[in-house]
Amino acid sequence: MDISHALGIAANIMLLGMVCVFSFLGLLVIAVKVLAKFCPEETPVAPVKSPIPNNQVNPNVVAAISAAVHKYRNSRGKPQDK
């Protein structure tokens, strides 16, 4: 087998691979477009109104942050501010 014959076979295999990939991607695009037509769009969910006014911080958030700071300071060996 000479080099030109081997290069011809390699070119055929490369062309076959490129055609397969291009065909798969084309079918994938078509399938996504068809599914998009049959599936309705999601409606946005209305945000839940919080009972706390906007200018106040949720006490649970303050407690969680305080606990995290306390745990961090104790793990680092630094004295806690009082």
- The Cβ of residue 14 has, within 10 Å, a number of other Cβ atoms equal to 10
Q: What are the sequence ranges of the domains in the chain?
A: 3-41+52-76
Q: What is the DSSP string of 7-51?
A: HHHHHHHHHHHHHHHHHHHHHHHHHHHHHHHHSPPPPPPPPPPPS
What would the pLDDT profile of 39-67 be if each residue is shown by its tens digit?
877 788 888 766 656 677 788 888 999 99
What would the pLDDT profile of 5-31 be if each residue is shown by its tens digit?
999 999 999 999 999 999 999 999 999
| Alpha carbons 57 and 50: distance in angstroms, whole number | 11
Question: What is the pLDDT at residue 30?
Answer: 96
